[in-house]
Chain A
Amino acid sequence: MNISRRHLLILLPAAAVAWKYVEAGTPEASPNYQMSEHWWGMLINIPKCIGCGNCVRACATENDVPDGNFRTWVERYHVTDTNLTTPEVISPDGGKEGFPVAQEDAGKYFFVPKMCNHCADSPCTQVCPVGATFISPDGVVLIDQTYCLGCGYCVQACPYGCRYLHPTKHVADKCTLCYHRITKGLTTACCEACPTGARQLADLKNPNDPIHEFLKTHPVQVLKPQMATGAKAYYYGLDGSVR
């Protein structure tokens, strides 16, 4: 079953109408995209990730992410069976060009794609002194780059290292969950480019989103739950050693 495709076939005609309003800069006026009807998140299926770096490259292309910064990146963990809590982690250039070949040894390997968790109680929006970053009514943490001072406080406040200061725009920058795509009924660039379906956009408010079948039947976890950020990037198959 192609989840994203079926999902999109339902949404596609609606999106065409919504697009008119989105283009006018008033997506809230769109009869087909109602912010109040969505609550966006992401499902990341760790056993499916092969560390190809497609998502990182796609994100950089779609969003013009500057070199050396990442809206999404992939980490490779290596955990030995004698030391389960201190993993050896690498993420060369954010995993953009994939990972070096690993040899079988005493331990397990797995890849962890990371991105903005679009927290419902996000510490980054809490600390913004002027209201330049915010949680949209449909649950996406966004930055108003025409209003941001570039003070960097939000970068300090994010426990996951998802934010950075844009080197030429001099403002904070981060994953928008491809807000310009999901409001048009498309999926995010990283999900579109993922060859194995390890990442899936999740509309937690839409009961027709097939993601709910998965969430109902599988154990999922968020990163750093002790931070109580209300993270909405849900991980399936997350190892306890992941930070």
Chain B
Amino acid sequence: MNGLKDAGHLFRFAGLFVVAFLVFLLVRGYVVPKTFGQYGHYRGAAIGEIAQHPVKFAGHQTCEGCHSDIADTKTKGAHAHVNCEACHGALFERLPAPAQPKGNLYERFVALIVPPAPPDAPLLLHADDPATVTPVKPDTLVLCARCHTASAAKPKGFPQVDPAVHMGGVPCETCHNPHSPAMGSDAAASPATGGAK
């Protein structure tokens, strides 16, 4: 009995550990995200959140839904497998970001240590609102040169020209229809106009 009494202070120290451990368990139960461990050692809901990121490249099938005339021209030519957005890019506009609600006390404290990243601006896609988001016609002198400028580094079978020798500053679409580039093809007579039906 005396032995236990003289070791009493050790139990007090151990008691500190037990209390700390219980507090830890309590806090842990509160702060660990609910979906953590759903599929593995991570927050399951993160998958859904990542899948929600906005799409900017609409995909050629979306374009073809309206621009079926261009799609028809394309399928006949050498650019049949070049998707629309490879040349036209993703057609979207960034809308002004809505005002961020002021964070709670904790969030404002964290912002002092780690400056928060600016919020993502909402997007408006050409595919959603073709009247507002209007495409800019690409400059063929720049656009075509990206792929077709001759270089020893490019695969030998790939069609390539020296821009200075080949056309001397004349825009490519004067002779070639970008949607079906072979010269003399009937499409070349009506240069790329595009436009939704």
Contact = CB atoms under 8 A, between A and B. Distances in A.
Chains A and B are bound partners: yes
Interface of A: 2, 4-5, 8-9, 12, 22-28, 35, 47-54, 57-58, 61-64, 76, 78, 98-99, 101-105, 109-111, 131-137, 142, 144, 146-147, 166, 168-170, 176, 179-181, 183-184, 186-187, 189, 192-197
Contact of A58 (B46, B60, B85): B85
A189 B57 CA distance: 6
Cβ-closest 10 pairs across A and B: A109-B153, A144-B46, A180-B53, A25-B48, A134-B42, A102-B153, A131-B41, A102-B152, A131-B42, A168-B117
A9 B64 CA distance: 12
B153 A187 contact: no
B146 A52 contact: yes
Contact of A64 (B36, B60, B120): B120
Contact of B83 (A25, A134, A135, A192): A192
Interface in B106-162: 114-115, 117-118, 120, 146-147, 149-155, 158
Given A179-B51, A187-B59, A197-B81, A144 B151 contact: no
Interface of B: 33, 36, 39-57, 59-61, 79-83, 85-87, 89-90, 114-115, 117-118, 120, 146-147, 149-155, 158
A99 B52 CA distance: 34
A50 B154 contact: yes
A52 B56 contact: no
B42 A193 contact: no
Given A28-B48, A193-B57, A144 B43 contact: yes
A180 B57 contact: no
Residue with the greatest number of chain B CB neighbours at <10 A, chosen from A48, A49, A170, A186: A186
A52 B160 CA distance: 12
A192 B50 contact: no
Given A47-B155, A61-B89, 17 more contacts: A2-B80, A5-B60, A51-B151, A57-B89, A62-B55, A102-B151, A102-B152, A102-B153, A104-B152, A142-B46, A147-B43, A176-B53, A180-B51, A180-B53, A181-B59, A193-B57, A194-B83
B120 to A, nearest CB: 7
B117 A194 contact: no
A195 B57 contact: no
Contacts of B117: 166, 168-170
A193 B146 contact: no
Given A25-B48, A58-B85, A136-B47, A131 B36 contact: yes
Contact of A180 (B52, B79, B80): B52
